[in-house]
Amino acid sequence: MQILLAAWASAALAQTDEIQVYDAEITAPGRFNLTWHNNFTLSGRRQADFPGGIVPDHTLNGVPEWAYGVTDWFEAGMYLPVYSYTNDDRLLFEGFKLRALFVVPHAHDRTVFYGLNFELSYNKPYWESSRYSGEMRPIIGVHLGRFDLIFNPILDSEFNGLGKLDFAPAARAAYNINSKVAVALENYSDFGPLDHFSGGSEQQQTLFTVFDYGGASNGIEFGVGYGLTRSSDSVVVKLMLMHDF
């Protein structure tokens, strides 16, 4: 584990194709799933976070996420293609990601659930400043009656040293109205590298109100996010469509 962490590294990401809190539920063994992610910045930063990068304001980012249930504790996935439609009417294709997700079996039926997700990305230079990047996402959660509380303490990486791992946690508090409908608050943060967190106003903090219908096998998730710091985009809308095949 120490060798793995030492290889991992980070930088704050200017854009994201996926705005989601993982809940340790995976595709059934032998089944395929498609989750189509889209998010649009209604009002956001008007300068790129690095030279040649994408300007967030009025840009649509998205990706189809393809997943296969290998066992009841392991799901393999691929994001392809990552794309953006920018505010100057350019359609850009920015690379792809591979994913390996390990979870406690049948998380939906457990009071306490957990898992660990790994991702490896190949990026075009206008998407991220590094050609290769990665993510390590622990999953910790509890089901308390109709309430779900989930925490993903994410570490992002550009493979340039342990101290430069970027801490970008995500959290979700949801109320399940019934078996198909839920409402939630989600928070997405970026505190910066572990060896030197950014100052409060330089951190990214976005709070989403979210509506879910259905589930991971066949459902929809819609949310509106509001930036809480000057380094965050002011208003972001996200839409996820999920379907098993």
Q: What does the pLDDT look like over 95-140, one tens digit per residue? A: 999 999 999 999 999 999 999 999 999 999 999 989 999 999 999 9
Q: Which domains does the chain have, with CATH numbers?
A: 2-244 (2.40.160.40)
Report the pLDDT value the prediction gives residue 4, as an integer from 0 to 100: 44
Q: Per-residue DSSP letters for 134-169?
A: EEEEEEEEEEETTEEEEEE--EEE-SS-GGG-EE--
Report the pLDDT value the prediction gives residue 14, as an integer from 0 to 100: 53
Asked if 57 and 87 count as a contact pair (C-beta separation under 8 A), the reply is yes
Q: Where does the chain have alpha helices with state H? A: 2-7
Report the pLDDT value the prediction gives residue 20, as an integer from 0 to 100: 98
Amino acid at site 232: S
> Which residues of the chain are modeled with pLDDT < 70?
1-14
